[in-house]
């Protein structure tokens, strides 16, 4: 069992990130939030980023089948059609041409 854990950990790569020009009030907030949750500031930032990612993923539509994709496209088309107001004038009337094909 310990060998399995070692092999999994061996393939797990951690990245490092530097945040420049962090506003003082945000740093103070992170420190206070970390202390309130009994975490290091680093761990608190990781938790906050994971929370943000999870919220974004929850908002993202999960479309997998062609039928679902088509239904999603039709929904968007219907929403656009509801918003667009069609101008009853002809193209010539919109452009400003008269019956001779000239501008008035």
What tens digit of pLDDT does each residue of 43-101 get?
999 999 999 988 888 887 776 788 888 988 999 998 888 877 777 887 777 777 777 76
**Residues 31, 41 contacting (CB under 8 angstroms):** yes
Task: Write down the domain spans for the chain.
Answer: 23-82
Mean pLDDT of the region 16-31: 89
| DSSP category for residue 88 | -
For the residues 25-49, what does the mean pLDDT come to? 92
More confident position, 27 or 89: 27
Q: Measured between alpha carbons, how far is 39 from 30 in angstroms, rounded to an integer?
A: 10
pTM above 0.75, yes or no: no
Assess whether pLDDT exceeds 90 at residue 19: no
DSSP 103: B
Q: Which residues are bridge partners to 103 per DSSP?
A: 97
């Amino acid at each position: 069992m310990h060998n399995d854990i070692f092999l999994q950990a061996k393939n797990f790569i951690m990245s490092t990130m530097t945040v420049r020009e962090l506003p003082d009030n945000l740093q103070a907030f992170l420190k206070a939030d970390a202390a309130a949750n009994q975490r290091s500031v680093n761990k608190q930032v990781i938790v906050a980023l994971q929370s943000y990612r999870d919220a974004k993923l929850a908002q993202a539509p999960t479309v997998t089948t062609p039928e679902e994709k088509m239904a999603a496209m039709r929904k968007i088309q219907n929403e656009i059609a509801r918003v667009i107001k069609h101008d009853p004038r002809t193209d010539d009337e919109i452009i400003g041409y008269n019956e001779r094909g000239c501008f008035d």
